[in-house]
Chain A
Amino acid sequence: MVNKNPSFVGKVGNFLYLFSFLFLLWFVLTNTLNPEELFTGISISIVLSLILSNNYKKLGLPPLGIKRIEYFIMFTLVLLKEIVKANFDVAYRVLHPKLPIKPGIVIIKTELKQDIAKIILANSITLTPGTFTLDIKGNELLIHWINVRSEKKEESTKKIGERFEKYLKVVFA
């Protein structure tokens, strides 16, 4: 993480991150190329990112890099595939006349350190087949599983968290 020693370069980087995000949001919301609108948007974005870019480093976002972007895109593709699978899974379980469910609550472990990485992992787990996050504490996650296949911590970690963690570990290294 470059943001541990807030140098001048880090500050400018934060400012640019936040400014481009805010301006993109403004542009999508107003949906016009009118110069007055654009001018208002740019000035509001500059003021807001000047005020807020100091708080921004608490999030612990990593600096940009080719490898990180590549892995993040791969992570997004895996996530989309899992979401589609999850929906057909839930549809099958709901429509089956006997309700083939076997619910339970298990604990899994994670090796991610930053809060934002844990949040992304938890939200991804919520959107994938048959699992969803109840609670996070330290490096453990409490998971509700609609079809429990193993009660040991290591096995459940392998079955639930592994496929996202190997990408997120590179992105937030």
Chain B
Amino acid sequence: MELVGVIFTGIGVLFLLLGNFGILRLPDVYNRIQAGTKCTTFGTFFTIIGIGIIQPEWFWKCLLIAVFVLVTNPISSHAIARASKKIGVPLCDRSVVDQTKEFVEREET
């Protein structure tokens, strides 16, 4: 049981590291949010569940924290992304398509 928990925590820690590495490496805000949100959500989820498996009497509280992170993390990164779209942070050079104008125009008519 302890081994399963340690493996879960290890997977989580690995993805947390990858997420932080992606924040450093990817070229613009939106791509960074992609790496940041997905990897840290998944990594934190697995880390906390792993600790809950090692210590069974903490399991429910750990599950509560994990679900809370799983629900709120996409919302906060969505808020930052929308704000940076509104203040006009540019996309990087390698972007191929940007349909934001179409979206904004349709909402005004």
Does a CB–CB distance below 8 Å link A and B in the complex? yes
Taken together as a complex, chains A and B put the C-alpha atoms of A101 and B31 apart, in Å, by 9
Taken together as a complex, chains A and B put the C-alpha atoms of A132 and B39 apart, in Å, by 13
Q: Is the interface of A mostly helix, strand, loop or mixed?
A: mixed
B25 nearest in chain A by CB position: A94
The 0/1 profile, CB within 8 Å of A marked 1, for residues 31-52 of chain B is 1011101110110000000000
Q: Is the interface of B mostly helix, strand, loop or mixed?
A: helix
Known A99-B25, A133-B78: A105·B31 in contact at CB below 8 Å: no
- Are the CB atoms of A132 and B82 closer together than 8 Å? no
- Are the CB atoms of B26 and A101 closer together than 8 Å? yes
A86 nearest in chain B by CB position: B38
The 0/1 profile, CB within 8 Å of B marked 1, for residues 119-142 of chain A is 000110011001011110110101
- Name the interface size band of chain A: 35 or more
The 0/1 profile, CB within 8 Å of A marked 1, for residues 51-82 of chain B is 00000000011011000000100110110011
- Are the CB atoms of B61 and A28 closer together than 8 Å? yes
The 0/1 profile, CB within 8 Å of B marked 1, for residues 94-128 of chain A is 11000101111111000000000000001100110
Least CB distance, A86 to chain B, in whole angstroms: 5
Least CB distance, A74 to chain B, in whole angstroms: 18
> Does A77 have its Cβ within 8 Å of any Cβ on chain B?
no
Task: State which of B15, B64, B95 has its C-beta within 8 Å of the C-beta of A87.
Answer: B15
Known A90-B22, A101-B26, A107-B103: A132·B42 in contact at CB below 8 Å: no
- Are the CB atoms of A127 and B95 closer together than 8 Å? no
A105 nearest in chain B by CB position: B98
Q: What are the residues of chain A within 8 A of B22 when measuring CB–CB?
A: 90, 93-94
Instruction: State which of A55-63, A143-151, A159-167 sits at the interface with chain B.
Output: A143-151
> Does A83 have its Cβ within 8 Å of any Cβ on chain B?
yes
Least CB distance, B55 to chain A, in whole angstroms: 12
- Please list 6 pairs of residues, one from A and one from B, whose beta carbons are closer than 8 Å in the complex, sorted by A's number: A29-B61, A90-B34, A103-B91, A144-B30, A148-B96, A151-B97
Which residues of B line the A interface, CB within 8 A? 15, 18-19, 21-22, 25-28, 30-31, 33-35, 37-39, 41-42, 60-61, 63-64, 71, 74-75, 77-78, 81-82, 85, 91-92, 94-100, 102-103, 106-107
